[in-house]
Amino acid sequence: MSSLRQIAFYGKGGIGKSTTSQNTLAALAEMGQKILIVGCDPKADSTRLILHAKAQDTILSLAASAGSVEDLELEDVMKVGYKDIRCVESGGPEPGVGCAGRGVITSINFLEENGAYEDIDYVSYDVLGDVVCGGFAMPIRENKAQEIYIVMSGEMMAMYAANNISKGILKYANSGGVRLGGLICNERQTDKELELAEALAKKLGTQLIYFVPRDNVVQHAELRRMTVLEYAPESKQADHYRNLATKVHNNGGKGIIPTPISMDELEDMLMEHGIMKPVDESIVGKTAAELAAS
Q: How far is CA 82 from CA 24, 28, 86, 95, 213, in A?
A: 12, 11, 9, 31, 23
State the pairing for strand pair 147-152/179-186: parallel
Is residue 10 classed as helix, strand or coil in its secondary structure?
strand
Residue 12 annotated in ligand binding: yes
| CA separation for the pair 198, 144 (Å, rounded) | 28
| CA separation for the pair 239, 221 (Å, rounded) | 15
Residue 11 annotated in ligand binding: yes
Residue 133 annotated in ligand binding: yes
Contacts of 134 (CB under 8 A, 6+ apart): 99, 101, 141
Residue 15 annotated in ligand binding: yes
Say if residues 101 and 108 touch (Cβ distance below 8 Å): no
Residue 14 annotated in ligand binding: yes
Residue 17 annotated in ligand binding: yes
Residue 18 annotated in ligand binding: yes
Positions marked active-site: 12, 17, 43, 130
| CA separation for the pair 129, 213 (Å, rounded) | 21
Annotated binding-site residue numbers: 11-18, 99, 133
Annotated binding-site residue numbers for ATP: 11-18
Annotated binding-site residue numbers for [4Fe-4S] cluster: 99, 133
